[in-house]
Chains A and B, each alone.
Chain A
Amino acid sequence: MSSEATRQALFEDLRGLMAETFKVEAAAIGPEAQLGEFPQWDSMGHMDLMVGLETRFGVELNAETISQLTSIPAILAHIEAKSHA
């Protein structure tokens, strides 16, 4: 699978998690979405997402990840970097 295809698959996986977490249609979540962009992605929603990222992708929950993983591009980059580490 090409890196572009891998990234697209990862995005779809993340979007599925976010749709489930925020109880919104996956199609409503764009590739550049960020914290605060829609009402469900507020502080509590963000923390629910972080717990989901921990469970689904093994992202470590700490002050740095919580404060930095505030957009889809940032989350994707973090997961990709982690998988290459």
Chain B
Amino acid sequence: MPDRLEITAQVTIPPHLIGQVQSKLAYVDEAIAAVAISADGKTIQLRLRNSKAAPSDLESKVQSVVADMAKGAMQPKVEVLEDHIGRAVPFSADPMPELLARGEVSQEHTGLYTLGPLLARLIAIFEDHFLELAADFGAQPQRFPTLISAEKLGRVDYFRAFPHSLTFATHLREDLHVINDFAEHAKYEEGGLNAPRESFSKIQALLSPAVCYHLYFSLADRPLSGGRLAATAVGHCFRYESNNLNTLERMWDFTMREIIFVGPADFVLQNRERGRKQMASFLESIGLAYKVESANDPFFVGEFRKQAAFQNAFQLKYEIRAKLPFKDGTLAVGSYNYHQDFFGRHLNITLPDGKPAHTGCVAFGLERLAYAFLCQFGLEPAAWPAPIREAWNG
């Protein structure tokens, strides 16, 4: 089998979809090690790893994904709410080599990173700010589990929308022979544990892909007490990103702080907007180069076209995209989200008038925000903007 394959797309991929199609093609086949799409959206290059996959089968799967995502795709309405992407920042190198060299970041496995004191303390400074922001909303603190119920995720159609990025939790079946056999023979080989699949239980839980879902699940099947609620929590989130896993930009296991709103539509929308404005003041105070623009969630292929178009049309999601000067790119470090009454209806969370509750959240990716900050201001605290430097020294 060749180690490269070039495919001419039967449906030209429009410029606004090239990145999203490219990321989805990673899931097409285990033989694919890397994907590149030409700027005109007509040519797809695959780098392949050792595999028995037939090139014709690979091409067929690639064409199918491209057609599903690109055929008849609507041109999105891009709304930019804040634009400070051109703001001058003092640092322009890639901080990862130095972070790795100093032991401030170490990779435990693909997508899994240990952070040292520099990033841990920087994240704590951002967290202090987010907790103040949450307090302004009267958001009550919550603690959520790292695992999340498979039954509940199914109830909100998560498996249909994001099957590609799920991470499953399992355990050995309650069977003495299975457990003894595992204890005696288990070892990591050929890229995974060697235990037979039938040793493992049915999947009842997954590693949580988001923080706010836990709150909605806890409110399910009853009237919302008081008719409105603001809450905040931080938690680990897990999204398997295949070949797209990349340094601290795209981790398998990352941390999000969310401030979550549940209530009537106007309550949720007003708080989402208030959160955005308060965050804008903070980002201004530290001089971060960023923009806030409309976005869509990374729905899988079958759902992508319709769900992304719906999110875009109703402006349900905006992302804070921080500049990464070393690559002349941007990275989503936070988002402002409105789910309409999706969770209220699917989980039967009702308002005093009997109507389903609306939900929304403001969410911040803590590792990504810290990483983007280091990309713009470097690794020396003395060179950081005053509010962060003072908190660091404080």
Residue ranges of A at the interface with B (Cβ–Cβ < 8 Å):
36, 39, 42-44, 46-48, 51, 61-64, 66-67
Q: Which listed residue, A36, A64, A66, touches B310 by the CB 8 Å rule?
A: A66
- Quick check: A62 and B310 within 8 Å, CB to CB? no
Q: When the two chains form their complex, are residues A47 and B309 in contact, meaning their CB atoms are under 8 A apart?
A: yes
Q: Which residue of A lies closest to B355 (CB)?
A: A36
Closest to A69 in B: B313
Residues of B contacting A48 with CB < 8 Å? 306
Cβ–Cβ < 8 Å partners of A63 in chain B: 74, 76-77, 309, 312-313
A62 to B345, CA, bound (A): 26
What residues on A are CB-neighbors of B278 within 8 Å?
A: none
- Residue of A36, A39, A42, A61 near B309 (CB, 8 A) is A61
Contacts of B310 in A (CB 8 A): 43-44, 46-47, 66
Decide: B306 and A44 in contact? CB cutoff 8 A: yes
Contact B345 A66 (CB under 8 A): no
Beyond A43-B307, A43-B342, 9 extra complex contacts between A and B, CB < 8 Å: A36-B345, A39-B345, A43-B310, A43-B340, A48-B306, A51-B306, A61-B72, A62-B74, A63-B76
Measured in the bound complex, the distance between the Cα atoms of B314 and A62 in whole Å is 11
The answer to whether B309 touches A66, judged by C-beta atoms less than 8 angstroms apart, is: yes
The distance from the CB of A59 to the nearest CB of chain B, in whole angstroms, is 12
A residues in contact with B77, CB < 8 Å: 62-64
Closest Cβ of chain A to B154, distance in Å, is 16
Instruction: List chain B positions with a Cβ less than 8 A from chain A.
Output: 72, 74-77, 303, 306-307, 309-310, 312-315, 340-342, 345
Q: Could you tell me if A67 and B314 are in contact, using CB atoms closer than 8 angstroms?
A: yes
B345 touches A47 (CB 8 A): no
**Least Cβ distance of A39 to chain B in Å?**
7
Total A-B Cβ pairs within 8 A: 45
A42 contact from B313, B314, B315, B342, Cβ within 8 A = B342
Can you offer 22 A-B residue contacts whose CB atoms are under 8 A? Answer: A36-B340, A43-B307, A43-B310, A44-B303, A44-B306, A44-B310, A46-B310, A47-B307, A47-B309, A48-B306, A51-B306, A61-B72, A61-B74, A61-B309, A62-B77, A63-B76, A63-B309, A63-B312, A64-B313, A66-B309, A66-B313, A66-B314
Most chain A CB neighbours (cut-off 10 Å) among B77, B303, B309, B315: B309
Give Cα A46–Cα B315 distance, bound, in whole angstroms. 15
- A-B pairs with lowest CB-CB distance, top 6: A66-B313, A47-B306, A63-B77, A67-B313, A63-B313, A43-B310
Q: B306 to chain A: which residues have CB within 8 Å?
A: 43-44, 47-48, 51
Residue among A39, A51, A62 having the largest count of chain B Cβ atoms under 10 Å: A62
Asked whether A44 and B312 contact (CB < 8 A) given A62-B74, A63-B74, the answer is no
Partner of B345, one of A42, A51, A67: A42
- Taking a contact as CB atoms under 8 Å apart, the answer to whether A44 and B307 are in contact is yes
CB distance from A38 to the nearest CB of B (A): 10
Inter-chain contact A62/B75, CB cutoff 8 Å: yes
Q: How far is the CB of A62 from chain B (nearest CB, A)?
A: 6
Which residues of chain B are within 8 angstroms of A51 by Cβ–Cβ distance?
306
* Residues of chain A with a CB closer than 8 A to B72's CB: 61
Complex Cα distance, B340 from A46, in Å, reads: 14
**Which residues does chain B contribute within 8 Å of A64, judged by CB atoms?**
77, 313
B13 to chain A, nearest CB (A): 18
Question: Whole-angstrom distance between the alpha carbons of A36 and B356 in the complex?
Answer: 10
Smallest beta-carbon distance B3→chain A, Å: 40
Give min CB distance, A36 to chain B, whole Å: 6
CA distance A74 to B391 in the complex (A): 54
Q: Nearest chain-A residue to B339 (Cβ)? A: A43
Complex contacts, A44 vs chain B, CB 8 Å: 303, 306-307, 310
